[in-house]
Structure 1
Amino acid sequence: MKLKGLIILFIVMIFSVSLKAQENSNPIFPKMGKTDTIRVTSTNDNGVMIPWMQLNEVSIYAARIWKSPQEQAAFNRLRYNVLKVMPYALFAKRRYEQLERDLLTAPEKKDQKNLVKQCDKEIKDMFNREIKDLTITQGQILTKLIDREVGRTTYDIVKQTKGGFAAFSYQIIARVVGHNLKSTYDKDEDRDIESIIRSSGFYQ
């Protein structure tokens, strides 16, 4: 009797597994409505297809409480300066990324030098038009933001594109007027700047 019972139990287990396999082989899809025209990803959950789609990241910020009117005024000045120079940092990012792509498709050193010169000219033209009028504080913020966007300091970029001597020379000039081309960006140290950027709409 015991052997017969084990055999029956074994058959039942096989039968149930077979049924489950059949259920999974014919998944159940949700019914489509007349206006359901957007294709989305779905996941098979025990034979039932569950549609889902990835949503964009949503940042929630609490209302900031200021310790004093002076602190709020300082933050407002910082916000103005960040929004002033952020477009230049984004331009540097796009232009530098474009230069790297162009250099990969230009095996000849002569062509590479021409690409670097063209990039340098575009940045200099923008400098002569707009960046030269930035304040010392705005320039300091800009060097930090370039490191944030490009992932490399302004000093490293100049060193790669124009050589170590040029980077050294530019750094000396920058230090005279209160800048540091080696400035790096730290999300914790520069949390106010990060907060301003995240709430500014530049990445929407």
Structure 2
Amino acid sequence: MKYSRLFILLFVILAAPSIKAQESNVPAIYPKLGKNDTIRVAATNDNGVMIPWIGLHEVIINGSRMWKSPQEQAAFNRLRYNVLKVMPYALFAKRRYEQLERDLSSVKEKKEQKKLVKACDAEIKRMFNTEIKELTITQGQILTKLIDREVGRTTYDIVKQTKGGFAAFSYQLVARVVGHNLKTTYNANEERDIESIIVSSGYYQQ
């Protein structure tokens, strides 16, 4: 029985190239075009017949959530407000950090690299002094999670890489005093409410 299965497998493997070659020799049959058929689309060869198709964007359907109590719904609404409040800052941090990495990779001199890091730090500080400092403790905690979600690194790791270990340690001490933790990571399975809010927010729609 084992030998017969092996023989069948070898036959399929050896026959596959010849089958593919036979299919490629079949002349393609294209659909007849009308006078209004002016849009180019992709097509798939189905046994010689060209079938046109158009790719569609992903559609996410979310069911209506059932709340156990008005208090639970109110808590979710507050979470949603806080997530949408800080999400733009997390996305800004992602774009700015990615830009910094691209700039650093194109510069060899450490002096120029320090200038780029300093400029990035100054830009983030300006945003902090004008907007982020007004965030609540809860919003700040959510922001550190979202930065890890977007950048793939904690706020602590980013500071450590760009400004050094001592600066990261100092920032962490200050953050802990006001109830923050720059080492906070993001786990989509544990933060399902936050994840569902982000996914349904429209930030990632093409």
| TM-score class, shorter | 0.7 to 0.9
Say whether residues 1:104 and 2:105 are aligned partners. Answer: yes
> In structure 2, what is the equivalent of residue 195 of structure 1?
196
Q: Describe the superposition over 1:48-95 as per-residue Cα deviations: whole angstroms up to 9, x where unpaired.
A: 112223222111100000000000000000000001000000100110
| 1:22 Cα deviation from its structure 2 partner | 8.5
Report 1:1-204 matches (<5 A): 21=22, 24-204=25-205
Q: Which has the larger radius of gyration?
A: 1
What is the TM-score when the length of structure 1 is the normalising length? 0.86
How many corresponding residue pairs?
Answer: 186
More displaced stretch, 36-45 vs 106-115: 36-45
The alignment's C-alpha RMSD in Å is: 1.7
> In structure 2, what is the equivalent of residue 12 of structure 1?
none
- For 1:137 and 1:150, locate their aligned partners in 2 and report how far apart those are by CA, in whole Å: 20
- For 1:149 and 1:71, locate their aligned partners in 2 and report how far apart those are by CA, in whole Å: 27
Structure 2 counterpart of 1:60, which letter? Answer: I
Cα distance change, pair 53–165 in 1 and its aligned pair in 2 (3 A): same
More displaced stretch, 44-53 vs 191-200: 44-53
- Partner of 2:51: helix, strand, or coil? strand
| 1:40 Cα deviation from its structure 2 partner | 2.3
* Fraction of identical pairs, as percent: 78
Instruction: Provide structure 1 residue ranges, at least 5 long, that are not aligned to the other structure.
Output: 1-16
Structure 2 counterpart of 1:73, which letter? Answer: A
- Partner of 1:185: helix, strand, or coil? coil
8 Å Cα contact 1:24-1:46 kept in structure 2 = no
What is the TM-score when the length of structure 2 is the normalising length? 0.86
Structure 2 counterpart of 1:51, which letter? Answer: P
Cα distance change, pair 165–31 in 1 and its aligned pair in 2 (3 A): same
- Partner of 1:187: helix, strand, or coil? coil
8 Å Cα contact 2:29-2:50 kept in structure 1 = yes
